[in-house]
């Protein structure tokens, strides 16, 4: 927030359209399109594929223009950040939830990435999902997803970020189950939803403790300075408090960014249509966890334990991801675990205190991975093409590192990678298996004590 | 004390009671439905009139003009009465034809009259009268269906309430304990959580859903048990919160092994009711406001989900059971959307009232109990998983060929259910309006419970 780049008396387009308005319009646009299309569908109006696709194109061109306008405004006025707020969304006694949007050098690239990638996916999906029964459903969910992402990246407080975060969770789950007539996508969606919601306990309670100890979840109240040179404002958090909040937020980020041991949902999420895999698990959604940590990095910096945990989880995920990606038998699983690996590296960078490096890594990774996911259906064809061009000798990348290990270790690691580190089995056995066993045991006791009705024999219908 | 301009509360109770009698006389389904819908709509309008007058009087208590000693409109009960009348109206309009026989319709109207009388009661004897009136059809149907658990729960809770009322001057501590026990039984806190499951499993769904949405146990606690016995209630608040949180997580975990959709839904609803109970006994403004908001969310979402259950069962002509995916999203896309939105709203979907409701509730409970309060977000997360599981079972998967021609939401289902969701979305986008509407109720609860 310093001097402007032009003389004070000069007026231009950036003065006519305030950046606060651009930011509000950007967040609301896909939400309004979603709402309008949903209401039309509910009242029985049938939209053609062309109309749906054109509306989507127009929406994301508009959003792209708004992001550029925002960037121009910030640059022209030499501002580090812009916030748009309209007081408290709701307030009870001393507890307030402000309705504040915020954009700075960290969130602007993420907003641009979301607008660009969602627009690209909309263009791609028009042909990819042509005559698919769920064409309208896909675009509805895409708009809702974009709204959720804009809310996450433009939120001025953790409370508002959680709103967008949950919208991403719901749209992701519904898109995994897009091909709902097959049982596998339905099961996979359930797994994805369970992992998301389980890890979201971390972000919800983390937000509570931030509110409780720092008095607010508003970034501008909790932090001082401009990104990337932000730090905690005054004596807002003690090291112990920062550790608890940091670890809880890390749990939330681990779920969204598929870090170990919660990476098992990511290959399952590939049951959805390819464009949704690209936008969710290549471009935007998986990076939301990394964004959360980057956004709240001052909290991590205040706690060596939390920073160390971020580095540790990231390093483990990077190794795990690369191992599993090498033994995966299908291209989408391989890409999914490659994403886990890259996200692990991004976590390491964040934990080590870097700011620009993880941001550049996020943007670069998102773009490359989206391209790979969109090309996944023709990957085999391209591989054969490349193989032939290389004269039939295309060595697997990184194989020489494997050969450095003793043969027994190679075999053991191969088995470990093939079963994806046994993470799913461990979670099923200890995290969900234990309460399930307890419930079975209590159910028997309750029935013996007649505290619950006797369960009738299962009937099969239809 | 200032008065209402008319006997709106007595009329609100009397109209459904008279309609219950009238519905039995003609003995034809269409006429019974018309009578019931008209009576519940009239009752809703009377409740809304009460809310309007109360708001105009600055939310100070208003008595009735001619019979002041029976009913009274307060900040706590007026909105609750309008909510229950609206839920009963939606239940009656959206009921499948086979659930609209004079007998079932009369039961719902009697429940409505009893519950509204209990809400509006100025004293404990009047509350007991409403409580008994509301439970009468439940006892009758539970006895007919052989639902022993429901009969025992109804009889025991009524007994505790009656004896507690008699002991209120001679033994305040004992009376408080009995009233709290009655509230625990009626809410279905551990170990009585199986009663709601048995009601939803065996009884008529619409009626059982309304009985659960009434939250009379919670109302008994905040309207009478806590204000009448502040000393004993203050000691009880902590363990009541722990019990409610334990119930919330316990019923959520028990849902993990539940195969029947009806019982699973019942467990989720009991878990969420326990969360409301926990929020109210924290006596923290944000916890109480969250609980009151979730009360509304639970009422609307459970009514929508139960109405859809009934519609699906009526269309497919068999009770929902087992793990099979029914794949009804194809033939019933609108009902699928209604179900998904209400299910997600119950566990805090942004854009609906569930989001601020859960947020406030979690903040209130965690503020009061930072360690054990962690159980609440965990229980809500597990409930979210259960609700998505229910949605998957009903609406995802490959549908049987015979169900291709099953109709989607009929007009009598579409509009009332859509109206419920509109209310949830409206207050979800503008929660400040609800906060303003319930601020005086929150103040009343915090004052009496936090003494």
- In contact, A358 and A350? CB cutoff 8 Å: yes
- For A179-204, the pLDDT digits (tens) are 999 999 999 999 999 999 999 999 99
Among the residue ranges A7-11, A57-61, A115-119, B220-224, the one predicted with the least confidence is: A7-11
Domain positions in chain B are 1-122, 123-449
Q: Which positions in chain B touch A451 (Cβ < 8 Å)? A: 149, 191-192, 194
- In contact, A298 and A307? CB cutoff 8 Å: no
Phi, psi of A98 (to 5 degrees): -75, 145
Give kind and range of the element (H or E) at residue A99. Answer: strand A95-104
Please judge whether A95 and B197 are an interchain contact, meaning their C-beta atoms are less than 8 angstroms apart. Answer: no
Give which of B204, B81, B274, B150 is closest to B73, Cα–Cα. B81
Please judge whether A177 and B355 are an interchain contact, meaning their C-beta atoms are less than 8 angstroms apart. Answer: no
Report the pLDDT value the prediction gives residue A459, as an integer from 0 to 100: 42
Distance CA A262, CA B115 (A): 47
Q: Which residues, in sequence order, are bridge partners of residue A88? A: A98
- For A288-330, the pLDDT digits (tens) are 999 999 999 999 999 999 999 999 999 999 999 999 998 988 8
- In contact, A346 and A356? CB cutoff 8 Å: no
CA distance A171 to chain B (A): 11
DSSP letters of B221-234?
A: IIIIIHHH-HHHHH
**Cis peptide, bond prior to residue B191, ω within 30 of zero:** yes
Q: Which residues, in sequence order, are bridge partners of residue A100? A: A85
Report the pLDDT value the prediction gives residue A5, as an integer from 0 to 100: 56
Mean pLDDT value of segment A36-52: 94
Please judge whether B356 and A181 are an interchain contact, meaning their C-beta atoms are less than 8 angstroms apart. Answer: no
CA distance B71 to chain A (A): 29
Distances (CA, A) of A245 to A208, A306, B378: 9, 8, 17
- For A395-438, the pLDDT digits (tens) are 766 677 777 888 898 899 999 999 998 999 999 888 889 999 99
Report the pLDDT value the prediction gives residue B199, as an integer from 0 to 100: 85
- In contact, A386 and A396? CB cutoff 8 Å: no
Distance CA A310, CA A300 (A): 9
Q: What angle do CA A39, B436, A163 make, to 5 degrees?
A: 50
- In contact, A310 and A247? CB cutoff 8 Å: no
Distances (CA, A) of A289 to A16, A347, B169, B194: 36, 9, 59, 39
Residue B3 DSSP SS3: strand
Distance CA A59, CA A324 (A): 38
Please judge whether A204 and B362 are an interchain contact, meaning their C-beta atoms are less than 8 angstroms apart. Answer: yes
Of the candidates B148, B193, B322, the beta carbon closest to that of A459 is on B322
Distance CA A205, CA B373 (A): 10
Distance CA B354, CA A200 (A): 16
- In contact, B33 and B92? CB cutoff 8 Å: yes
Indicate whether this complex's ipTM tops 0.85.
yes
- In contact, B416 and A206? CB cutoff 8 Å: no
Distance CA B251, CA B247 (A): 6
Please judge whether B149 and A167 are an interchain contact, meaning their C-beta atoms are less than 8 angstroms apart. Answer: no
Task: Note down pLDDT in tens along chain B; length 451 residues.
Answer: 788 999 999 999 999 999 999 887 766 788 889 999 999 999 999 999 999 999 999 999 999 988 888 999 999 999 999 999 999 999 999 999 888 888 899 999 999 999 999 999 999 999 999 999 999 988 887 777 777 888 888 999 999 999 999 998 899 889 999 999 999 999 999 989 988 888 888 778 899 999 999 999 999 999 999 888 888 878 888 899 999 999 999 999 999 999 889 899 999 999 999 999 999 999 899 999 999 999 999 999 999 999 999 999 899 887 777 778 899 999 999 999 999 999 999 999 999 999 999 999 999 999 999 999 999 999 999 999 999 999 999 999 988 887 878 899 899 999 999 999 999 999 999 999 999 999 999 999 998 776 6
CA distance B17 to chain A (A): 32
Residue B100 DSSP SS3: coil
Please judge whether A190 and B326 are an interchain contact, meaning their C-beta atoms are less than 8 angstroms apart. Answer: no
Report the pLDDT value the prediction gives residue A461, as an integer from 0 to 100: 40
Burial class (CB in 10 A: 0-12, 13-18, 19+), A244: buried
Q: What count of other Cβ atoms lies within 10 Å of the Cβ of residue A7? A: 6
Q: Which positions in chain B touch A459 (Cβ < 8 Å)? A: 318-319, 321-322
Give which of A200, A181, A349 is closest to A265, Cα–Cα. A200
Domain positions in chain A are 16-376, 402-443
């Amino acid at each position: 927030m310093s001097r402007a780049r032009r003389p004070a008396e000069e007026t231009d387009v950036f003065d006519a359209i305030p950046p606060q308005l651009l930011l509000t319009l950007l967040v609301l646009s896909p939400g309004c399109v979603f709402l309008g299309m949903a209401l039309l569908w509910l009242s029985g109006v049938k939209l053609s594929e062309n109309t749906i696709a054109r509306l989507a194109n127009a929406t994301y061109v508009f959003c792209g223009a708004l992001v550029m306008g925002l960037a121009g405004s910030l640059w022209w006025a030499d501002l580090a950040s812009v916030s748009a707020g309209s007081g408290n969304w709701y307030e009870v006694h001393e507890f307030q939830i402000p309705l504040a949007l915020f954009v700075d050098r960290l969130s602007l690239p993420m907003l641009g990435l979301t607008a660009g990638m969602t627009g690209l996916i909309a263009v791609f999906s028009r042909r990819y999902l042509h005559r698919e029964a769920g064409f309208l459903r896909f675009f509805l969910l895409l708009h809702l997803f974009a709204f959720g992402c804009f809310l996450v990246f433009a939120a001025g407080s953790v409370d508002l970020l959680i709103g967008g975060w949950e919208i991403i969770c719901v749209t992701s789950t519904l898109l995994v189950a897009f091909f709902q007539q097959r049982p596998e996508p339905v099961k996979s969606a359930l797994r994805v939803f369970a992992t998301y919601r389980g890890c979201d306990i971390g972000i919800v309670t983390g937000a509570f403790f931030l509110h409780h100890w720092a008095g607010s979840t508003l970034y501008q109240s909790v932090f001082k300075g401009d990104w990337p040179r932000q730090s905690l404002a005054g004596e807002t958090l003690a090291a112990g408090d920062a550790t608890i909040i940091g670890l809880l937020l890390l749990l939330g980020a681990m779920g969204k960014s598929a870090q170990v041991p919660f990476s098992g949902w990511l290959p399952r999420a590939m049951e959805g249509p390819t464009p949704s895999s690209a936008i969710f698990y290549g471009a935007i959604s998986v990076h939301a966890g990394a964004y959360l940590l980057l956004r709240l990095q001052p909290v991590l910096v205040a706690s060596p334990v939390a920073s160390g945990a971020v580095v540790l989880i990231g390093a483990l995920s990077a190794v795990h991801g690369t191992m599993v990606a090498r033994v995966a038998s299908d291209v989408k699983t391989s890409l999914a675990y490659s994403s886990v690996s890259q996200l692990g590296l991004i976590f390491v960078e964040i934990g080590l205190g870097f700011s620009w490096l993880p941001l550049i890594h996020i943007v670069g990774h998102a773009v490359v991975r989206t391209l790979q996911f969109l090309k996944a259906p023709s990957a085999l064809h391209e591989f054969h093409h490349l193989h032939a061009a290389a004269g039939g000798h295309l060595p697997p990348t990184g194989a020489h590192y494997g050969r450095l290990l003793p043969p027994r270790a190679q075999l053991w690691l191969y088995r470990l990678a093939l079963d994806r580190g046994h993470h799913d089995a461990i979670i099923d056995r200890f995290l969900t298996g234990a309460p399930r066993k307890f419930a079975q045991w209590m159910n028997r006791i309750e029935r013996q004590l007649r505290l619950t009705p006797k369960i009738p024999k299962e009937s099969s219908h239809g | 004390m200032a008065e209402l301009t008319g006997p709106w509360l007595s009329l609100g109770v009397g109209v459904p009671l008279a309609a219950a009698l009238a519905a039995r006389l003609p003995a034809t389904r269409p006429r019974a439905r018309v009578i019931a819908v008209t009576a519940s709509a009239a009752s809703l309008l009377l409740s809304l009139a009460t809310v309007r007058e109360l708001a105009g009087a600055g939310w100070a208590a208003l008595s009735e003009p001619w019979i002041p000693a029976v009913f009274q409109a307060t900040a706590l009960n007026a909105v609750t009465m309008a909510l229950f009348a609206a839920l009963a109206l939606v239940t009656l309009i959206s009921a499948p034809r086979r659930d609209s026989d004079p007998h079932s319709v009369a039961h719902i109207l009697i429940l409505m009259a009893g519950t509204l009388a209990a809400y509006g009661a100025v004293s404990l004897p009047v509350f007991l009268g409403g409580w008994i009136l509301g439970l009468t059809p439940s006892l009758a149907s539970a006895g007919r269906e052989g639902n022993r658990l429901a009969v025992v729960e109804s009889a025991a809770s009524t007994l505790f309430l009656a004896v507690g009322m008699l002991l209120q001057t001679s033994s305040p501590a004992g009376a408080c304990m009995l009233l709290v026990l009655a509230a625990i039984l009626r809410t279905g806190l551990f170990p009585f959580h199986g009663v709601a499951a048995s009601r939803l499993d065996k009884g008529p769904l619409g009626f059982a859903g309304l009985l659960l949405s009434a939250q009379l146990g919670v109302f008994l606690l905040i309207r009478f048990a806590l204000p009448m016995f502040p000393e004993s209630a203050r000691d009880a608040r902590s363990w009541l919160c722990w019990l409610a949180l334990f119930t919330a997580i316990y019923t959520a975990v028990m849902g993990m092994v539940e195969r029947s959709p009806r019982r699973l839904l019942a467990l989720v609803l009991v878990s969420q009711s326990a969360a409301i109970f926990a929020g109210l006994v924290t006596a923290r403004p944000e916890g109480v406001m969250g609980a009151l908001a979730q009360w509304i969310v639970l009422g609307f979402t459970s009514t929508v989900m139960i109405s859809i259950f009934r519609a699906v069962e009526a269309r497919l002509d068999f009770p929902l059971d087992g793990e099979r995916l029914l794949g009804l999203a194809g033939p019933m896309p609108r009902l699928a959307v209604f179900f998904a939105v209400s299910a997600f709203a119950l566990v805090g979907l942004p854009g609906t009232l569930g989001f601020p409701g859960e947020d406030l509730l979690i903040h209130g409970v965690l503020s009061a109990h930072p360690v054990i309060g962690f159980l609440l977000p965990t229980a809500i997360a597990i409930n979210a998983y259960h609700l998505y599981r229910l949605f998957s079972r009903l609406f995802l998967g490959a549908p049987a060929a015979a169900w291709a021609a099953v109709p989607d939401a009929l007009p009598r289902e579409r509009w009332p259910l859509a109206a419920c969701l509109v209310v949830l979305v409206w207050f979800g986008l503008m929660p400040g309006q609800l906060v303003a509407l319930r601020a005086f109720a929150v103040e009343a609860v915090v004052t009496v419970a936090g003494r």
